[in-house]
Amino acid sequence: MSDLEERTFIAIKPDGVQRGLIGEVIKRFEQKGFKLVGMKMLQVRICNQLSPASQELLHNHYADLSTKGFFPSLIAYMSSGPVVAMVWEGKGVVKTGRVMLGATNPADSAPGTIRGDYCIHVGKNVIHGSDSVESAEQEISLWFQPSELVSYKSCAFNWLYE
């Protein structure tokens, strides 16, 4: 995979979905020049209970935080409503995507970033983005089957890259 094909995992969390921010997030990534290669909306809650598969997905996704005191509330938050999971592709998409999201704590996020513009509290910070190429690969494989991702050359490619 070339550096032009770098991929990242972006998820709009339940508060972002409920607040109608899906289009705004997609717009920002598209306008930056990144290519959407996978997207799905899913709800990890079934009949007010986490399904075993959903519980496993969330526990695997947040495994690095499992020893933190806020872990149970994080799982409850992420299972409180629909999530939009996406895979974006482009040169430097992981690093640039993190900049576009803003700091995890919205109080530390600059205006113009997604969290800086739309969030107030760290516990409801609208969006998740992979923090490294390695974590992106792992997160993408948790949320998507290879057959759910598309590969194509955007007609804008020559206008974005030298």
CB 79 within 8 A of CB 50: yes
98 is in an annotated binding site: yes
Catalytic residue from among 59, 61, 121, 128: 128
48 is in an annotated binding site: no
34 is in an annotated binding site: no
104 is in an annotated binding site: yes
28 is in an annotated binding site: no
Residue 33 CB coordination number (10 Å): 16
Q: What angle do CA 137, 140, 142 make, to 5 degrees?
A: 110
| Listed residue (92, 89, 130, 86) closest to 7, CA to CA | 89
Active site residue 128: yes
CB 41 within 8 A of CB 83: yes
| Enzyme catalytic residues | 128
Binding-site members for ATP are 13, 70, 98, 104, 115, 125
Binding-site members are 13, 70, 98, 104, 115, 125
